[in-house]
């Protein structure tokens, strides 16, 4: 049997660029109908344009994942237009590094809302639909910061760890309805923002890459392929897990350098 997502109605947030766009492209190439969502309406439309150029099916729906009513409208639009919802991929999120003692309560709250509350808003809207169908898959993008401490990313790490806990609870609570929930934990990704940060560090890029067992940064396509597997029927008995896609870094202990 060939891995496919034929006829799966899929909503992907944060899909105007990066992991979200790569996932939308991958899902569509495997036969899914993709509802491409992002706060960047033009970027979402650009993703849809790329999908359609390759013969895929997609529509764009602009939404701010920090606004519960907009997330609910996004899910409702998908269901009203296509009649069901098979996959919700909570991918939108992010943060900028900031020392914990310098972070205001308002900023801490904003980061948690952008990452954890946005996931809850999507889950809250999607679960009744999936319960009625007695099927559905919920995917979410967390981070290595949710698995281990990263200086300057306390709020982000706390939110991402919360996403992992929420995912486990969804699996335990709603598995009886045929609903699965899993998390992908990307490692260091080859993005513009990460490259800027990497260039600010002393030493060469290779000094950093040498700490990653796979010897390179990850790509958005690396994440997209794992997401497609987790959304497919190939992973029908995978539920409530966190999958690190990080080149092996999560399994490495810190070793003093000489």
Q: Which residues are catalytic?
A: 156
What distance lies between CA 133 and its chain's CA centroid?
Answer: 23
27 touches 21 (CB < 8 A) = no
Contacts of 21 (CB under 8 A, 6+ apart): 15, 43, 47, 50, 220
Whole-number Å distance between alpha carbons of 198 and 19? 19
Whole-number Å distance between alpha carbons of 89 and 80? 18
Instruction: Give which of 90, 169, 84 is closest to 134, Cα–Cα.
Output: 84
Whole-number Å distance between alpha carbons of 24 and 33? 9
Q: Is residue 107 exposed (0-12), middle (13-18) or buried (19+ Cβ within 10 Å)?
A: middle
Q: Tokens for 228?
A: 């497609």
3-state SS record for 34-46? EEEEECCHHHHHH
Contacts of 144 (CB under 8 A, 6+ apart): 150, 185, 186, 187, 188, 244, 246, 249, 250
**Ordered strands of the 87-90 beta sheet:** 57-62, 33-38, 9-12, 87-90, 136-141, 179-186, 242-245
């Amino acid at each position: 049997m060939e891995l496919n997502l034929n006829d799966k109605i899929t909503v992907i947030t944060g899909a105007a660029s990066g992991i979200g766009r790569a996932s939308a492209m991958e899902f569509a190439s495997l036969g899914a109908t993709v509802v491409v969502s992002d706060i960047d309406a033009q970027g979402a439309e650009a993703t849809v344009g790329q999908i359609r150029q390759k013969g895929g099916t997609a529509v764009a729906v602009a939404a701010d994942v920090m606004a519960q009513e907009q997330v609910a409208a996004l899910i409702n639009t998908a269901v009203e237009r296509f009649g069901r919802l098979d996959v919700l991929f909570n991918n939108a999120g992010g943060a900028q590094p900031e020392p914990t003692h310098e972070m205001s309560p308002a900023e801490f709250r904003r980061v948690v809302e952008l990452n954890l509350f946005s996931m809850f808003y999507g889950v809250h809207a999607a679960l009744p639909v999936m319960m009625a169908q007695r099927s559905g898959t919920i995917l979410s993008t967390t981070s290595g910061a949710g698995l281990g401490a990263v200086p300057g990313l306390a709020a982000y790490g706390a939110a991402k760890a919360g996403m992992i806990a929420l995912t486990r609870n969804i699996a335990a609570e709603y598995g009886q309805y045929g609903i699965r929930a899993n998390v992908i934990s990307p490692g260091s990704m080859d993005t513009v923002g990460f490259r800027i940060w990497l260039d600010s560090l002393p030493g060469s890029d290779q000094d950093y890459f040498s700490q990653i067992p796979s010897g390179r940064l990850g790509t958005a396509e690396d994440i997209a392929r794992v997401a497609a597997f987790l959304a497919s029927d190939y992973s029908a008995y995978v539920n409530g897990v966190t999958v690190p896609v990080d080149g092996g870094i999560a399994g490495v202990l810190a070793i003093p350098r000489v």
